[in-house]
Structures are given as structure tokens and as C-alpha cells.
Amino acid sequence: MMDHDTLIKILARVDHSMDQRQFAAQLVFDNPSLVSQLLEIGSGNHRRKSAKACWVIEFAARQDLSFIHKEIQQFLDSLPHIQGESSIRPMAKICELLILEHYSRKSLDREYRLNKYQLEQIATVCFDWLIGPHKVAPKAFSMTCLYHLGKSFDWIHPELYMVLEQNYASESAAYKARARHIFDQLRK
């Protein structure tokens, strides 16, 4: 098991380069116990360290979500505490990956399934990100999550439609593009 100080030193070297993020993600695959530490750092107050921890978790999750499933409750419990756009964006992306996996046809064969409470936790945080003063990426990921979650919770689609409609005029072109796509899906 890697100690906290060593992990902090590794995170200090992580940047946007593919090599550094892949190196750190490989550490997660080699040492699954790091996920818990990364989630703690990710939900901490130090924005630079938090962001880098979240980047690493996302980069690893894009390759293999199974390590997130093993720490799913800690992951979900950390979401409301995530601060800063550089941390929120990767966590919102992971939520989108989890939801897309959950609602895929293949998910019935998977070992890990999200339960109702966990789905509700994602819905709550996604609505918070969607209506909060956040950049477009977490809002777009949240729209996708909420659209799919509306398949399980009747109240979500009307609320999602209302929020998108209210905010449509004042949001960016990227937000509007995703919102149009969601509107189309909701009308089917």
C-alpha cells in the first residue's frame, strides 16, 4: 500500500499529458487501495490536488469502471463535496460512464449494478450540477445521466425538461446543442 505522502508527490507530477495520466492510472490498476485515498483527496479542500486526483480517477475509469464499483459508495458520498470545475468535470464524466453502463443492454450480465439509492444519489448531484453555476461539460454529462435516470424515476423527465427549458436562452451554444438532443429524446 502506498503512503499518502508518496501519492501526493505522484499527483504533483500529473498534468494534462497522456503519459502522466496513464502512469497514474496504471498505479490505480496495480494498487486498487489507492482509489479510496484518491477519493479522499478529490473531495478535499486543496483544489489543485483535488483536481489531479479526480483526473486520475476519471482516466482510469474510462479504461475500466470495475475499480469504481468496488468503492462505489465512497465515490457517490464524495460527489456533493467535490469543489472546483477541474474536479467536478471528471467526476461528472464518471457518473455519465456509470449511468451509461447501468442502462446498457450488456449491464444485465455485469456483476455490478447500481441500486435505487445509488441512482438517486447520482440524480441529486446531477441536478445540482445542472442548475448550479458550472461550466458546460458537467452540465452536459448531467443531462445525459438525468435522461437515462428518468427511465427509472418518473419525476426526473418533467423536471429535466423544465430546467432545460428555463435555462436554454441564457446558456452557451454547447449547452443548447446537448439540450436539443435531450429534448428530442424526451419527445420520443
- For the stretch 52-92, pLDDT in tens is 999 999 999 999 888 898 899 999 999 999 999 999 999 99
pTM of this structure = 0.93
* pLDDT at residue 106, rounded to an integer: 67
> Per the structure, how many domains does the chain have?
1
- For the stretch 14-62, pLDDT in tens is 887 888 888 888 888 888 888 999 999 999 888 788 999 999 999 999 9
Using the predicted structure, report yes or no on whether residue 186 has a pLDDT greater than 70: yes
Question: What's the rounded mean pLDDT across residues 141-168?
Answer: 97
- C-alpha 134/C-alpha 149 separation (Å) is 21
Residue 175: which domain range? 4-187
- For the stretch 97-152, pLDDT in tens is 999 999 986 655 567 789 999 999 999 999 999 999 999 999 999 999 999 999 99
CATH number where 28 lies: 1.25.10.10
* pLDDT at residue 47, rounded to an integer: 77
Long-range CB pairs of 132-139 (<8 Å, 24+ gap) are: 134/85, 134/88, 135/85, 135/89, 136/171, 136/172, 136/174, 136/175, 136/178, 137/89, 137/92, 137/93, 138/85, 138/88, 138/89, 138/92, 139/171, 139/175, 139/178
First to last CA, the chain: 50
What band does 94 get if pLDDT is binned at 50, 70 and 90?
very high
